[in-house]
Structure 1
Amino acid sequence: MREPDDLIELTELAGQVPTGLPLVAALAGFSDAGGAISQLTEYLRANTSPQLVATFDAEELLDYRARRPIIEFDQDHLSAYEPATLTLSLAHDDNGRGFLLLAGYEPDFQWERFSRALLRLLDRLGVATTTWVHAIPMPAPHTRPIEVTVGGNRQDLIDAMSVWKPSTRVPANVLHLIEYRLAERGSPVAEFVLLVSHYLADTELPAAAIKSLEVVQAATGLMFSTDQLRAESREYFLRVDEQVAGNEELATLVRTLEERHDAYLAGNPRRSLLTDDDGALPSADELAAELEKFLSLRRTGEDERP
């Protein structure tokens, strides 16, 4: 019988990691609205000087046919190969405070074995808290701050930050399983679900990266500079606003979403941000039509640029 620990290859640094650090997890799964996770991972890898603590066995966990690795072709030969990785690293924030970063692909196979292996490793390293982030499309206006749903067992964060608390059944991420196991034994864990404007969900949205960093900061006390991302976000939204201003249908859509959003946050007893004035959910066809309007407009605008 294969042991869970066989999935992990530790580095020498594993024996030097201080106990009591927070864990931040960001895995590339089936949903990444606004590119929140890809941008968060890119930012943390580029700005926190991560040092490798452990590598997970991709040959056991990854379906290469479902998520093919990248290989580069240079004119007449293959010049580089980028295998998918899932790693745990020791990183440091802007103030030099340490934390652990779990980043890379979401395992396709052996979720239970992987979860046992990871939980054993977190116990060995004395991890204090676990925080993870993912993002989903939501009929919410881009003119309002990105809101979040908070899960887990950290009631202070739930009470302070969670604006939408649905009771529903959703396709699971492997980190849902990790969260479930941690909560079962009473270990502090927080899940942040970013509610990203559905008509911008397939774009790389700088505001989603900013919100990801903000919720990680709120949960861990870590500090990260977001000045560059905020500048990029302002420029991004200026372009979006220009397109909205030039299309009355889209402008009407945004105003309607703004009204629903503001009414909900003011205490309107709707079931969620998705409902209309009668409490009815818009149909999938209606949401798809709204999204297609925006994408069609954006494609047209790109085609007309010099």
Structure 2
Amino acid sequence: MRDPAGLYDLSLDAAEVPLGLPMVAALTGFADSGSAVTQFSAHVLDSLAHRPIATFDSDELLDYRARRPTIYFDQDHLSDYRPPSLKLYLAEDELEQQFLLLTGYEPDFQWERFTAAVLQLVDRFQVSTTTWVHAIPMPVPHTRPIGVTVSGNRTELTDAMSVWRPRTQVPANALHLIEYRLQELGHPTAGFVLLIPHYLADTEYPAAAVTALESVSAATGLLFPTDRLREEGRDFVARIESQVENNQELARLVGTLEERHDSYMLDNPLPSPLIDEDGELPSADEIAAELQNFLASRRDGTEDQT
């Protein structure tokens, strides 16, 4: 393996980074249901003070043809080229508590070398804990709090917060590999998998970002502003509820999800909160079809008037 340090450049400010800070990681590119990771990263960078201390080499890590960068066409010339970035930042929360934030795209290539590079940075800055978030679609109702599955070696978080603990194979992402390697080293690490209603997976669901922020807070003690996201979330849910109230079939399907969720949370001996005794699920296609107008209006910035 080539030197992992060749994958990133340190800024001049890196020498001034305090040792022993927590690191938070959020990479986009895989199963970002409800745009939880995208919103989380954007919200933290938009609302908190931060500066980059390490920048990763996109030409080494990114498949540009799979995730093409954006360039602006201005009448007769090209301008404002916006390449993807993957950086480690030094940031401050609302109480000016400092932490490291690893955010940007998930690498397409050189996962082992990238993981070794991150572990180098963890060692260099004597990172105290590593916490990361991602989100997957699940047949759960939007009328209940978003649940999380917690991985890693911080049993206090798993015991207190993990609502679903399956034994299964899952498609790995780059942060899974980093967590796995950190566990081998005995480094305190926790990954939060947000369980997002499957019929909202393709939307920008504000509650998903709030849950991501709350999960990181629980693991690190960091405090994040959430008022704007919560207000957007209330408006978002109100429009969903309007769709549900006007469609009896949709209301029945959401009600079925609620019953199965509540039964599981009350220690009913079901194999998961997602299925009944017969192993049946409400149809994702049915729910998605009923919400199609709402989702389209959300993306277009208009509202359904029916």
Matched, 1:138 2:120: no
1:291 aligns with 2:288: yes
- Describe the SS at the equivalent of 1:89: strand
SS in 2 for 1:101: strand
Q: Kindly provide the CA deviation profile for residues 214-256 of structure 1, in whole angstroms up to 9, marking residues without a partner as x.
A: 0010000001121111111111111110011001111001111
Residue-by-residue CA offset, 1:27-49 (whole Å, 9 max, x unaligned)? 00221000100000001111121
Q: CA–CA distance in 2 between the matches of 1:157 and 1:90?
A: 25
Show the 5 A alignment for 1:105-184: 105-184=105-184
Q: Which residue of 2 aligns with 1:282?
A: 281
Query: In structure 2, do the counterparts of structure 1 residues 186 and 67 end up closer, same or farther at CA, with 3 Å as the change threshold?
Result: same
Moved more, 55-64 or 44-53: 44-53
Runs of 4 or more above 6 Å deviation:
none
Report the equivalent of 1:85. 85
| Paired position in structure 2 for 1:97 | 97
Distance change >3 Å, CA 298–CA 111, structure 1 → 2: closer
Structure 1 residues 57, 152: closer, same or farther in 2, change over 3 A? same
Aligned amino acid, residue 209 of structure 2: A
Gapped regions of structure 2 (runs ≥ 5)? none
**Residues 186 and 289 (structure 1), Cα distance of their counterparts in 2 relative to 1, 3 Å cut:** same
Q: Distance in 1 between matches of 2:199 and 2:6?
A: 43
How far, CA to CA, are the matches of 1:81 and 1:100 in structure 2?
Answer: 27
Structure 1 residues 227-306: aligned runs within 5 Å? 227-276=227-276, 278-282=277-281, 286-295=283-292, 298-299=295-296, 304-305=304-305
Q: CA deviation at 1:293?
A: 3.2
* Count of residue correspondences: 303
Name the CA distance, whole Å, in 2 between partners of 1:46 and 1:255. Answer: 37
- Percent identity for Structure 1 against Structure 2: 56
Q: Does the 8 Å contact 2:33/2:202 carry over to 1?
A: yes
1:74 is displaced (CA, Å) by 1.7
Q: Check the 8 A contact 2:140/2:257 in 1, yes or no.
A: yes
Give runs of aligned pairs for residues 29-48 of structure 1, distance below 5 A: 29-48=29-48
Q: CA RMSD in A?
A: 1.7
Checking the alignment, whether the CA contact within 8 Å between 2:149 and 2:194 is kept in structure 1 is yes
Which structure 1 segments of 5+ residues have no match?
A: none
In structure 2, the CA distance between the partners of 1:303 and 1:93, relative to structure 1 (3 Å rule), is: closer
Change (3 A) 1:298 1:216: closer
CA-CA distance at 1:291 after TM superposition? 2.6
The Cα of 1:259 is off from its aligned counterpart by 0.5
Q: Secondary structure at the match of 1:53?
A: strand
Normalised by the length of structure 2, the TM-score is 0.95
Structure 2 CA distance for aligned equivalents of residues 18 and 280 of structure 1? 52
Deviations 1:161-186 (A, max 9, x none): 00000111111110000000000111
1:171-213 per-residue CA deviation (whole Å, 9 max, x = no partner) reads 1110000000000111000000000011111100110010010
Q: Equivalents in 1 of 2:83, 2:295: separation in Å?
A: 33
Q: How does 1:189-228 map to 2 (within 5 A)?
A: 189-228=189-228
128-137 or 74-83, which deviates more: 74-83
Tell me if the contact between 1:148 and 1:161 (Cα under 8 Å) persists in the aligned partners. yes
Going from structure 1 to structure 2, the CA distance change for 1:300 and 1:11 (only over 3 Å counts) comes to: closer
Task: Say if 1:298 and 1:82 are closer, same or farther in 2 by CA, change over 3 A.
Answer: closer
Summarize the Cα distance change of 1:125–1:297 in structure 2 as closer, same or farther, 3 Å threshold. closer
Measured in 2, the distance between the counterparts of 1:297 and 1:52 equals: 38
Give 1:298 deviation, angstroms: 4.5
Task: Give how far 1:2 is off.
Answer: 2.6
Change (3 A) 1:295 1:97: same
